[in-house]
Amino acid sequence: MSSVVITGGTKGIGRSLVLKFAQEGFDVFTCARNEADLQELRDVFFEKFPKNRLFAKRCDVSQKTDIQNFGDDILKTGIPDVLINNAGIFLPGNIYEEADETFETLIQTNLASAYHLTRKLVPAMISKKSGYVFNICSIASFMAYLGGGSYTISKFGLLGFSKSLREDLKEHNIRVSSVMPGATLTASWKGTSLPEDRFIDSDELANLIFYFYKTPESMVVEEIVIRPLKGDIS
């Protein structure tokens, strides 16, 4: 059975990806910081997909040791077919006003986690000459906006990481895509008064990512930009 690694799999885009890939027959490896959220995901997952395997581990992706240990646990079971670096947080603010440690927190969570987990798993993918890496970036990866602060910096960095990884892995038959969604209806927007049609639906986004995974291995869509039909939300 094929397997997928999805960081930050208990909420939002990550949760939709977990359920979509499971629906398509994949075993799933995922992680999150909150054990209660992981247990709730396990309950839903095994009710829906009793024949699939789910490895769901408590992990603070901002901590290098945690994310590397997560990677080691995955490799003990085999080589994943797909890696989706999804985990991330949003902390708004202007660069000159942000709270101390905001920059470090966002870089470690949104960028360093992808860097360290990819370095742990990709050599095994190279050994079998196949695999796919999706990096969940953001519209903020190429378009700065007021109040984006260090979040924007971290997402620009993630896109740069993804572009570099694409060049590194093309000779090894491993595809790399940067996914840049606009405002997606997740917990980050809890309490908003905006109607749902102003947002991207996370389930539909997961369907789209799986669609690109299923494209022929002889080609790759390097950058995927998705916006709400009515435009960005500022």
- Does residue 154 lie in a domain region? yes
Given a contact cutoff of 8 angstroms between Cβ atoms, the answer to whether 61 and 113 are in contact is: yes
- Does residue 193 lie in a domain region? yes
Q: Is 208 helix (H, G, I), strand (E, B) or coil?
A: helix
Three-state secondary structure of 65-80: HHHHHHHHHHHCCCCC
Residue range 78-111, pLDDT digits in tens: 999 999 999 999 999 999 999 999 999 999 999 9
Mean pLDDT of the chain: 94
Q: What is the CATH number of the domain that holds 176?
A: 3.40.50.720
- Does residue 44 lie in a domain region? yes
Nearest CA to 107 out of 168, 33, 66, 158 is that of 158
- Does residue 234 lie in a domain region? no
**Strand 82-85 relative to strand 54-58: parallel, antiparallel, unpaired?**
unpaired
- Does residue 233 lie in a domain region? no
- Does residue 114 lie in a domain region? yes
**Domain extent at residue 32:** 3-226
- Does residue 231 lie in a domain region? no
Average pLDDT over residues 201-224: 96
Task: Measure the CA–CA gap between 54 and 33, rounded to whole angstroms.
Answer: 16
Average pLDDT over residues 27-39: 97
Given a contact cutoff of 8 angstroms between Cβ atoms, the answer to whether 182 and 227 are in contact is: yes
pTM of the full structure:
0.95
* Number of domains into which the chain is organized: 1
